[in-house]
Amino acid sequence: MTDADLLALHRHLVATRSVSGDEAALADWVQAWLAARLPTVLRHKNNVVGLAGEGGPLLAFCSHLDTVPPGPGWSGDPWTPRVGEGRVVGLGANDAKASVAAMLTAFTRLAGTGGVPGGRLMLALVAEEETGGEGAEVLVPWLAEQGLTPAAAVIGEPTDLALAIAQKGQIELELRTTGRACHAAHGRALQAPNALSLLARDLVALEALDWGPPDPWLGPVTVEPTLASGGSAVNVIPATATCRLDVRTNPVPGHSEVLARLRAVVAGEIHVLRADLDAAAIPADHPLVVAARAARPQSPLQGSRGMSDLVHFRGIPSLKVGPGRTERSHTVDEFVAEAEIIEGARFYEALARSFFRA
């Protein structure tokens, strides 16, 4: 795999539509591409897994095939890669097909040399990362059933090759308050509780909640109201009101303690919609981090507030790192620099070699 082959591969990935839930065509192509180069390729739903090497610890590379739908305002067809001034413009060019192409290339280069002595390599290219569902969330436990639990994992996301050694978790909640419906003209006289007013008070209370010292990599726990509704008519006191809450968590406090603190300061009811996406962190002196820093000493350590498939590698030391920049993700005329893709492939290859030498 030359650098020219890598860039051609990346353009093909971008040109193949793979919006979340519609990744089958790209998964089929990637499966065939890997099968022509590897003895062992597995498929679970629209998730494709390649394996190389024998014996020793298993190191996994994982990135996602899917993209978000294109937003309005693109200056050209989102699925026709446009190359100019060293950039590739196209849907998913940055997030995360740059990582996919770089990982495919690094994996193929390593497998082509017979693998890395002292270890095994796994490449997992998954579906539905942007929406959740039938991607890494189902693939990782399925791999465990096959006896393929990695010793460590590298998650390919655009980080400008900075090493994200910590990632926030997420809790999705709904806050519900209850009032008493009556004519708005008589609400005060009847002392009818207004569900919207109660909701507003609870949101103010949540804003003032003290979470203690911030995490050194991830900052404070955050609670953001994102969707609210209530009331039935302009002249009726609302009987109910609801608000969705997006809570971004740290390794400490855990989710159960976060929920207990939230419930302690609100008058309304908090209903949990999802609370299984735990925060994760890997020590800065873990062999995987040491190997990554040896492969690219200029890469800084950082935390990541954004969600990724890292949350599904529970109990597996994992590092999030990849070519491109997160600020370009999900934007109109999304792009990545060709030099970033090339550097990403070289980095992933060097990381694996360094990890197995440790």
Say whether pLDDT at 115 is over 70: no
CATH of domain 169-277: 3.30.70.360
Nearest to 33 by CA among 108, 113, 140, 91: 108
Say whether pLDDT at 12 is over 70: yes
Cα-to-chain-centroid distance, residue 296? 23
Q: pLDDT tens-digit profile of 275-285?
A: 999 999 999 99
- Identify the burial level of 188 via C-beta atoms within 10 angstroms of its C-beta, where 0-12 means exposed, 13-18 middle and 19 or more buried: exposed
Say whether pLDDT at 117 is over 80: no
- In this prediction the pTM is 0.93
pLDDT category at 358 given cuts 50, 70, 90 is low
C-alpha to C-alpha distance for 119 and 274, rounded to whole angstroms: 36
Q: pLDDT tens-digit profile of 196-228?
A: 999 999 999 999 999 999 999 999 999 999 999
Average pLDDT, the chain: 96
Bridge partners of 177, per DSSP, are 241
Only one residue has tokens 């059933």, namely: 145
Say whether pLDDT at 269 is over 90: yes
pLDDT category at 337 given cuts 50, 70, 90 is very high
C-alpha to C-alpha distance for 294 and 290, rounded to whole angstroms: 6
User: Which residues of the chain are in CATH 3.30.70.360 domains?
Assistant: 169-277
Q: pLDDT tens-digit profile of 35-87?
A: 999 989 999 999 999 999 888 899 999 999 999 999 999 999 999 999 999 99
3-167+279-357 CATH choice from 3.40.630.10, 3.40.50.970, 3.30.1020.10, 3.40.718.10: 3.40.630.10
pLDDT category at 114 given cuts 50, 70, 90 is low
3-state secondary structure of 82: strand
C-alpha to C-alpha distance for 265 and 268, rounded to whole angstroms: 9
